[in-house]
Copies of this chain bind each other. A is one copy, B any other.
Amino acid sequence: MTRDEQGPADVPGTEAAPPPVIVLVQPQLGQNIGKAARAMLNFGLTEMRLVAPRDGWPNPDAGPAASGADIVLANATVFDSVADAVADCSDVYATTVRKRGVTKPVLTPDAAARTIHAAPGRSAILFGPERSGLDSDDVAAARYIVTVPINPEFGSLNLAQAVILIAYEWSKGESLASPPRVDLDPPAPQAELDGMIAQLEDMLEPAGYYHPPERAVVTRRTLRTLLTKPAWNSNEVRTLRGVFRTLARPRQR
């Protein structure tokens, strides 16, 4: 998931920031480490750092939970302290459910993602232990707090969910994840639509649809408005004309 090196990357001062490092501080379950790896790789993040994982490292429960994101686990590095884990990073973000007494900028995930993309260096995002979250010292070490705006009556984000929301927001700023675009055909030219409507009117007229005559103008307009609304393309207009032709055929029964 290295970034595209073409384009403005060669111009000094305009280089895009490298992808952020995901730092799991004292993670408890190997399974959650695996799920976090999967969440990261889904959105193109590959660098995981572990600070004093409770059950040591490697952890046999991590692999199966990663659902194929083994590369992230294989490259994960272990540190004794948060300070060591973020030593090469210029900006540190602490994720918390609620802000503590610490006075720091509190960012939403999308604001944090923009800040990370605009940063001149590498950023690190800290995630606390499953049960307790980051402790005050770790929050104090960070430059920014990131808080996911969550239902105040039910806040129950697990580690992998917190990771995926941050990774997802970060990926929006990357071009790697552009959505597949459907080649929508342009709407059919008006003449084609007119032909179709005329065909339908020719069928409806003898069937008595425009009765009584004084309502005919309004009825035609209503039908025209309705059939103009969809912006059908030429193919779709052709399909509908086939439908009408079928209905106009002498009954087979």
CA of A171 to CA of B152, assembled, Å:
12
Instruction: State the copy count for this chain.
Output: 2
The one of B179, B207, B226 in contact with A249, judged by C-beta atoms closer than 8 angstroms, is B207
* A103 and B171 form a contact (CB under 8 A): no
Contact of A246 among B177, B207, B236, B251 (CB under 8 A): B207
Q: Of B68, B229, B232, which is within 8 A of A232 by CB?
A: B229
- Expressed in whole angstroms, the Cα–Cα distance for A67 and B150 within the complex equals 15
User: Would you give the shortest CB distance from A186 to chain B, in whole angstroms?
Assistant: 12
Total count of chain A residues near the partner, CB < 8 A? 75
Residues from chain B with a CB closer than 8 A to the CB of A208 are: 246, 249, 252
A204-B247 contact, Cβ under 8 Å, with A99-B180, A165-B165, A182-B103: yes
Are B43 and A151 in contact, CB atoms less than 8 angstroms apart? yes
Cβ of A48 < 8 Å from any Cβ of B?
no
Interface residues of A (CB under 8 A from B): 1, 38-39, 41-44, 67-69, 98-99, 103-108, 110, 145, 147-158, 160-161, 164-165, 168, 171-172, 175-182, 184-185, 200, 203-204, 206-209, 222-223, 226, 229-232, 236, 239-240, 242-243, 246-249, 251-253
